[in-house]
Amino acid sequence: MPSTNSAVKDIYCSKCDARYEINKVLNLCKCGGPLLLDYDYEAAAERMTKAVLAAREFTMWRYLEVLPVLDCDNVVNLGEGGTSLLPSTGIGPQLGLASLYFKDETTNPTGSFKARGLAMAVSRAKELGLDRLIIPTAGNAGSAVAAYAARAGLRCKVIAPKDVPEPFTVDCVYHGAEVELVEGSIKDCGTRAAQLVEDEGWFSVATLKEPYRIEGKKTMGYELAEQFDFQLPDVIIYPTGGGTGLVGMWKAFDEMEKLGWIDGFRPRMVSVQAEGCAPIPRAFEQGIEHAAEWQNPSTVAAGLKVPSAVGDFLMLRAIRESNGTAVAVSDDELMIWTKHLAAREGIFSSPEGGASVACLKKLVEFGFVKSTDKVVVFITGSGYKYLDVLK
Ligand SMILES: *Cc1c(COP(=O)(O)O)cnc(C)c1O
């Protein structure tokens, strides 16, 4: 069996001092904290030099030494990652910004950046001999886990809210997943999934409730560094739900410093949410460590309708340590900018990407973003599955 040469060491808790062996099947730490992966960065740096890296295929699997899969045969790959970093042609000049870029995640398999995290989680599930995966989802995560589970030959169950746009469940069914629709928000789906874990023994791959999705999402940080020739941008704007992308990139920057690839400079990390469900901006303003649950969440940006997140404190920590901020935008604003993205940049985005750009406009007005700042806005998903919302 060909080894990936992964330099993974063990698993540690983000809250307490607990450490776990890499081959243990784990969800959360026994203290309830999300689990993260640790690596031997010296060994990784020796094997994965910048020159070695440059010769590899541009997908997220080019960073194998700092990814947790041990055996190449367990890598479940549909070509995820390696997405374009597009310089803005219309919106940047309009807002007076000299260096605005879009990280275009719409081109990932299954139409969103959820592919990165779930490719990793499914690969590790296969490696650990798990064969039944369950996920609570607002849409994109379900599509992604269903596709990767199909490719790996694993069973899969997707729990989504009743009002999930139909295209998200059509592809799940085509991939052979069982789909169950639940009254309420993703929070209620999480409760139902937890019950099925208890009653029927499924393995949950809910956001940050297993250690591997974040390892897939962190590759966005590695890619950005490479695409900017290891000079990180000044500001990163990211539409946040469960927060794996934000927390994952923040982890990636620390890792790259340990690898000797970058210095201590860090982008200011900005979390965007919708006014109808904004627990992170509210907690950020209140200066508190954990975000209280948002009551009666409502927004067309389904991926942002996450009323409470197990990794809230990790998001808030990254935002604060980076001197970033957290902003809520209205559904009207995010829909307008979703249109502008299509009309002025040629990017057909889901509403979450529109939220990022709506946020950018506000930050320019506030003076948080300066005209000379190098800014990256994440366009996290494609508009094609949201036609009902967009038309
Ligand atoms: C899930 C999702 C988000 C939120 O991502 P997190 O990493 O969970 O914060 C944003 N945009 C889209 C399109 C999504 O599907």
Query: pLDDT digits over 219-240, tens only?
Result: 999 999 999 999 999 999 999 9
Signed CA dihedral, 163, 168, 171, 177: sign only = negative
Question: What 8-state DSSP symbol labels residue 62?
Answer: G
Would 318 be classed as within a structural domain? Answer: yes
Compute, in angstroms, the gap from residue 302 CA to the centroid of ligand 1.
9
CA distances (Å), origin 74, targets 77, 81, 120, 144, 307: 9, 17, 10, 17, 34
At residue 38, the pLDDT reads 98
Q: Whose CA is nearest to atom 13 of ligand 1?
A: 381
DSSP 83-118: -EEEEPSSHHHHHT-SEEEEEEGGGSGGGBTHHHHH
The whole domain housing 380 covers 84-109+213-390
Does residue 103 fall inside a structural domain?
Answer: yes
- The residues with which 374 forms a beta bridge, in sequence order, are 99
Quick one: tokens of 58? 């541009």
What is residue 83's predicted lDDT score, i.e. its pLDDT?
98
pLDDT tens figures, 24-52: 999 999 999 999 999 999 999 999 999 99
Q: How far apart are CA 344 and CA 348, in angstroms?
A: 10
User: Does ligand 1 have an atom closer than 6 angstroms to the CB of 380?
Assistant: yes
Give the chain's domain count: 1
* Beta carbon of 112 within 6 Å of any ligand 1 atom: yes
Cα–Cα distance measured from residue 306 to residue 86, given in angstroms and rounded to the nearest whole number: 28
Count CB-CB contacts under 10 A for residue 158: 29
pLDDT in tens, 97-155: 999 999 999 999 999 999 999 999 999 999 999 999 999 998 899 999 999 999 999 99
Is residue 303, in this structure, part of any structural domain at all? yes
Instruction: Output the six-digit token pair for 277.
Output: 């469900």
pLDDT given for residue 353 in this prediction:
98
* Amino acid 156: pLDDT: 98
Residue 177 lies in a domain: no
φ, ψ of residue 94 to 5 degrees: the values are: -60, -40
For ligand 1, atom 8, which residue shows the shortest CA distance? 242
Query: What type of residue sits at position 143?
Result: S
Cβ contact 159:136 at 8 Å: yes
With vertex at residue 254, the alpha carbon angle to CA 252 and CA 258, rounded to the nearest 5 degrees, is 110
| Average pLDDT of the residues in 262-269 | 98
Q: Is 248 in the pocket of ligand 1 (CB under 6 A)?
A: no
371 lies in some domain:
yes
Alpha helices of the chain — where are they, by DSSP H? Answer: 41-47, 50-54, 91-95, 114-127, 140-152, 166-174, 186-200, 213-217, 219-227, 244-258, 279-286, 312-321, 331-340, 351-366, 387-390
CA atoms within 13 A on the CB side of 301: 36
In this structure, the number of other CB atoms found within 10 A of the CB of residue 294 comes to 21
Asked whether 117 lines ligand 1 (CB < 6 A), one says no
pLDDT on residue 47: 96
> Which residues lie closer than 8 Å to 261 by C-beta, 6 or more apart?
50, 225, 230
Q: Is the minimum distance from the CB of 273 to ligand 1 under 6 angstroms?
A: no
Question: Do the Cβ atoms of 93 and 344 come closer than 8 Å?
Answer: no
Measured from the Cα of 248, ligand 1's closest atom is 7
For ligand 1, atom 3, which residue shows the shortest CA distance? Answer: 303
pTM of this structure: 0.97
Express each pLDDT in 329-367 by its tens digit: 999 999 999 999 999 999 999 999 999 999 999 999 999
Is 1's pLDDT higher than 80? no
On whether residue 193 sits in a domain, the answer given is no
Please give the distance, rounded to the nearest whole angstrom, from the Cα atom of residue 34 to the centre of ligand 1. Answer: 18
Distance 240 CA to ligand 1 centre (A): 6
Q: Is the CB of 245 under 6 A from ligand 1?
A: yes
- Residue 224 belongs to domain with CATH number: 3.40.50.1100
Q: Is residue 89 part of a domain?
A: yes
Q: Is 244 in the pocket of ligand 1 (CB under 6 A)?
A: yes
Q: Kindly give the distance from the C-alpha atom of residue 115 to the centroid of ligand 1, in angstroms, as a whole number.
A: 11
- Distance from the alpha carbon of residue 308 to the mean position of ligand 1, in angstroms: 14
Is position 114 within any domain?
no
- State what percent of residues in the chain have pLDDT above 70: 100
